[in-house]
Structure 1
């Protein structure tokens, strides 16, 4: 029975998690196909819960998927692990949280949809993160193009996530502030000198880090 939901960012696809899922029995790289309106957050939560079935499960949230923590907690997640992830922002939209990046993304959008994640930057970072052409092509093929309207969608308001056992894995220096936030909450924090997409390129290391913090949760799953 699946018990570990590896949830990708709304701006990347399940391909990011599949290599790590193969190293963790009972793990599922959740494929929700990108956010779809108008139930942006609830839709992702519903598809994640459907993928996990009736048993207890832990949500592992990468990057922008950190924003799904409140709704996933309401849907029955027994614990949360944030992996190079943003903080939850219940009741607020991405524009409320970071108007600068929203303006940047809007400038690169076409036909009412955001550009693929690798085209958000002046130089595509994927050749550096994923030097092997085959995995890189699979990753690119899996990239969703969320509607621009998602940037203004408020996340569901809930505090259930704050009562769950939680931990933080920092894979890149860019998420040091978020890791410090997790430490301030008394969560276990593990840091690795890897990169933001390390779950795709260093699955053994990331799987080991996940096992480490899961052992601290003491969950009956």
Structure 2
């Protein structure tokens, strides 16, 4: 029996690709029809490695250049200069100041909170991720105690230990928790390895990789996610 619903943050609670593309477009000057999905996903994979043990404040500027150029290489795009990478980072940070929940999620969270414990597990620096959580007004539904970042935990997804830490915070067994995330390898496989149920918010329409772990549910749009989560509360539709 599910007693808690825990969410990823980036590209699960809000659309992370839109501000990324908007910040990158003037830097590399591509046609508006060019699909930057693979570059975006590569950037996210690089960002997931940003933990306290991996990166010190002294080399963060250098790492930001490497992170962006590694992502651009995923689609054979030319590397950018450190100055261009800094300009992108400034623009991206600015645009992330104006993120909003996917449509329908606020209503769903209101209903979920009445019946379930709610939480967040997210990779990244604690201050940076908490700032996003606050911009999304998630404090309306989720207490700070049940928000766990990889920097705080000392391990990052896909390490299942971070999910086990959340078990203790929620005081629940793994089988009583479901995780909602957009990334199969970081979110779904890791949650299943930890004994959780896992809902894959596959709104980027990726094929499921070969593997032994199958999502308990898969949805491909914010509307489908809304209906899935409402079903947990016994509400078929709004």
TM-score of the two chains, using structure 2 as the length reference:
0.33
**Structure with greater helix percent:** 2
Bigger Cα Rg:
2
